[in-house]
Amino acid sequence: MKSVTIGGVTIKGNVALSPMAGVSHVAYRGICREKGASYAPTELVSARSIRYNGLEKSMQYLRIDPETEGVTAIQLFGSEPDDFTAAIDKIMEHPLLSKVDIIDINMGCPVPKVVKTGAGSALMNDPETAASIVRACKAALEGAPRHIPVTVKTRIGFDPGDSGRPDLARAVADAGCDMLCVHGRTRPQMYTGSCDRKAIALMKEAIRGYDIPFFANGDVTDGPSAASLIGETGADGVMIGRAARGNPWIFEEVSAFLEGRPAPNPPSERERKEMLIRELKGRCLYCEEEFAVREFRSVMPFYVKGIRGAAQLKVRLCSALTVNEIKEILEL
Ligand SMILES: Cc1cc2nc3c(=O)[nH]c(=O)nc-3n(C[C@H](O)[C@H](O)[C@H](O)COP(=O)(O)O)c2cc1C
């Protein structure tokens, strides 16, 4: 199995879960790891909110579980280097969160609320600030008892005409970023249109001399699409987003394909339903049952996608309020 070393932290394999708000719950990240994901960062968390409101308010998103996750990574977003410094200081003072292995910086979020503040994908248009943020994170982690690498996840551009931002890639690499992941879409594309692999390759090429790993991201749905993304971009690995929703088995499948092993059997209908319940119960460990069930409404449909009667099932699942009701609906 190929392994990748990110600033001294070695991950097994080269197929990671891409961070997704509402999806990348700690319960799900542990499941993905079990099913072969190399690692799985948290969803994006505001560095400014941590700075001014403390960790508790964001704990639902920040929580890590080194035991089930293996290598852990927290993704932060923001636009002010000082916010990152303050957020990391707080993280490093926390008994659980200080065990984190990697800090990832979001430089790709296209959501207007985030972009308006100069954060997320807006940083692609401001490589100087992007680099300052990386430097601030590195400096804040300098005193840590272990080396904690800083990684960056971004896109191929901010404007519709952009086809790669090698300037941004070089700026963050110069600033000491330990790994770069690039999603092959521009900000206005959000998650639509095709993924521009040439633009990803251009950014990979831009940091060739820096000796840091590079991950490609966008539209991986199976082994062949992962292999061709790696082949066409020269990436060291891939991150899988949407196709992994309600489908942790994708990591076994893609890893097997990349390593030339036979494809594992796809999960049965029952296994999928049982995994849905397992993730939901995992989510319930951290909050009120009804809250967990409501939050899980955006994910449940993916677990039953393609199952006979899925349309009806989805409607019923999304009106349930307890785990038992959901079990009944799924006839488990
Ligand atoms: C619902 C949803 C939430 C997302 N949240 C985040 C996030 O918190 N941080 C991040 O870096 N990217 C986020 N993304 C982007 C994904 O990580 C990924 O880059 C994108 O979906 C492209 O990969 P895919 O084609 O495999 O889905 C999100 C995407 C989706 C669909």
Residue 68 reports pLDDT greater than 90: yes
| Pair (99, 69) in one structural domain | yes
State yes or no: pLDDT of 315 exceeds 90. yes
pLDDT in tens, 119-134: 999 999 999 999 999 9
Q: Residue 127 corresponds to which amino acid?
A: P
Residue 247 Cβ inside 6 Å of ligand 1? The answer reads no
Query: Within this chain, do residues 11 and 112 fall inside the same structural domain, yes or no?
Result: yes
Look at residues 197, 227, 258 and tell me which one is the last residue of a structural domain. Answer: 258
What's the confidence (pLDDT) of residue 27? 98
Question: CA 320, 45, 247 angle in degrees (round to 5)?
Answer: 45
Contact 166, 206 (CB under 8 A): yes
Catalytic residue at 137? Answer: no
Interatomic CA distance for residues 145 and 265, integer angstroms: 43
Q: Given a cut of 90, is residue 46 above it in pLDDT?
A: yes
Is 2 a residue whose pLDDT tops 90?
A: no
Give mean pLDDT, residues 3-32: 98
Overall size of the chain counted in residues? 332
| Binding site membership of 104 for ligand 1 (Cβ less than 6 Å) | no
Ligand 1 and 59: CB distance under 6 A: no
The per-residue pLDDT for range 143-187, each reduced to its tens digit, is 899 999 999 999 999 999 999 999 999 999 999 999 999 999 999
Q: How many domains is the chain built from?
A: 2
* Any ligand 1 atom below 6 A from CB of 217: yes
**pLDDT tier, 281 (very low <50, low <70, confident <90, very high otherwise):** very high
Contact 200, 235 (CB under 8 A): yes
What is the pLDDT averaged over residues 313-326? Answer: 97
pTM over 0.95: yes
Per the CB < 8 A criterion, the answer to whether 50 and 87 are in contact is yes
**Average confidence (pLDDT) over 192-205:** 97
Tell which one of 76, 104, 215, 242 to mutate to probe ligand 1, the residue whose CB is within 8 A of the most ligand atoms: 242
- In this predicted model, what pLDDT tens digit does every residue of 292-301 receive, in sequence order? 999 999 999 9
Asked if 171 and 286 sit in the same domain, the reply is no
Mutational test site, ligand 1, from 191, 225, 228, 230, max ligand atoms within 8 Å of CB: 191
Question: Which residue range is the domain that position 233 belongs to?
Answer: 3-258
290 to 27, 29, 211, 286, 312: CA distances (angstroms)? 16, 21, 47, 12, 21
> Quick check: is 9 in a domain?
yes
Taking the centre of ligand 1 as the mean of its atom positions, its distance from the CA of residue 141, in whole angstroms, is 26
Sheet bearing 73-77, strands edge to edge: 15-17, 237-240, 214-217, 179-186, 150-157, 102-107, 73-77, 44-46
SS3 153: strand
Mean pLDDT value across the chain: 97
**Residue 124 and residue 98 share a domain:** yes
Residue 263 lies inside a defined structural domain of this protein: no
Q: Are residues 221 and 273 in the same domain?
A: no
**Judgement on whether residues 273 and 252 belong to the same structural domain of the protein:** no
For position 1, what pLDDT does the model report? 81
Distance in Å, CA 9 to ligand 1 centroid? 23
Indicate whether 91 and 239 sit together in one domain: yes
Domain boundary among 208, 232, 258: 258
Is the residue at 56 inside a domain? Answer: yes
